[in-house]
């Protein structure tokens, strides 16, 4: 008999955009895992839910390096999963907090798989995604009528971007901080209407409607571009 493992989406940053369910579970479980990219740096996801967590002693930080090196990633996932399984085996419930929605580009996905493979019961609580929050913040529909929408992780090499743009009405570019110049050029070439939002819902949020004015070398990690075909 093991405890239950929860994944809690905490939304994109505004603490009022967290579900009651995530807050209730965070306060019910025995241990709350707060993922951080570097030891001692703090956890973006935990910072969002922090104010609602009554017992801070249950919080355990785990380090998940931000890297594409599969060996390094595998090492950190296995180490952290081993620690989580150790807690679950004491019949304690564990929740893992994650930015936005757990099922969109999150480390939680990998951890959840490894834990579920061990026969542990898993429950994932959805969160408001960063792109839904950004579209609402900007009062821009992500899709209407029979329009299509695509979500692209711009940090990767987007070699088929032209094809995607040709086929889609609405484009969400997540993680644009790594590949910005290349992505911006493509979007410009296709004459799309674009807006970048940085740190949506935070006090230092920025909305930039002219991509040419973006300082490509200083784009915060929490940024995205929403692009739409013009006049449609």
Ligand X SMILES: C[S@@+](CC[C@H](N)C(=O)[O-])C[C@H]1O[C@@H](n2cnc3c(N)ncnc32)[C@H](O)[C@@H]1O
Of 81 and 99, nearer to ligand X (C-beta) is 99
- CA dist., res. 144 & res. 29, Å (int): 40
Residue 48 CA neighbour count, 13 Å, CB half: 29
Handedness of CA 17, 23, 25, 30 (dihedral sign): positive
- CA dist., res. 22 & res. 28, Å (int): 10
Site for ligand X in 148-207 (CB under 6 A): 174-175, 197, 199-201
Q: How far is the CB of 225 from ligand X (least distance, A)?
A: 9
| One character per residue 74-113, x = contact with ligand X (rule: CB under 6 A) | -------------------------xxx--xxx-------
Of 101 and 169, nearer to ligand X (C-beta) is 101
Stretch that binds ligand X, among 21-29, 77-85, 163-171, 222-230 (CB under 6 A): 222-230
* Residue 96 structure tokens: 């893992």
Measured from the Cβ of residue 56, the count of other Cβ atoms closer than 10 Å reads 8
The site for ligand X (CB under 6 A) is made up of 12-13, 99-101, 104-106, 129-130, 134, 174-175, 197, 199-201, 221-224
């Amino acid at each position: 008999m093991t405890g239950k493992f929860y994944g809690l989406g905490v939304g994109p940053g505004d603490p009022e955009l967290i579900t009651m369910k995530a807050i209730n579970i965070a306060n019910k479980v025995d241990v709350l895992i707060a993922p951080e990219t570097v030891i001692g740096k703090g956890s973006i996801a935990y910072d969002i839910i922090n104010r609602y967590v009554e017992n801070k002693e249950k919080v355990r930080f785990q380090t998940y390096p931000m890297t594409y090196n599969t060996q390094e990633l595998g090492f950190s996932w296995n180490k952290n999963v081993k620690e989580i399984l150790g807690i679950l085996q004491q019949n304690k419930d564990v929740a893992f907090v994650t930015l936005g929605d757990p099922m969109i580009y999150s480390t939680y996905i990998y951890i959840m798989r490894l834990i579920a493979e061990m026969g542990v019961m898993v429950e994932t609580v959805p969160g408001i995604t960063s792109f839904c929050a950004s579209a609402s913040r900007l009062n821009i529909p992500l899709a209407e009528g029979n329009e299509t929408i695509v979500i692209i992780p711009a940090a990767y090499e987007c070699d088929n971007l032209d094809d995607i743009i040709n086929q889609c009405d609405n484009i969400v570019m997540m993680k644009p901080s790594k590949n910005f110049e290349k992505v911006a050029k493509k979007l410009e070439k296709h004459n799309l209407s674009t807006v970048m939002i940085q740190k949506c819902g935070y006090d230092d949020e920025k909305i930039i409607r002219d991509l040419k004015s973006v300082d490509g070398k200083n784009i915060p990690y929490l940024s995205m571009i929403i692009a739409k075909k013009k006049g449609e």
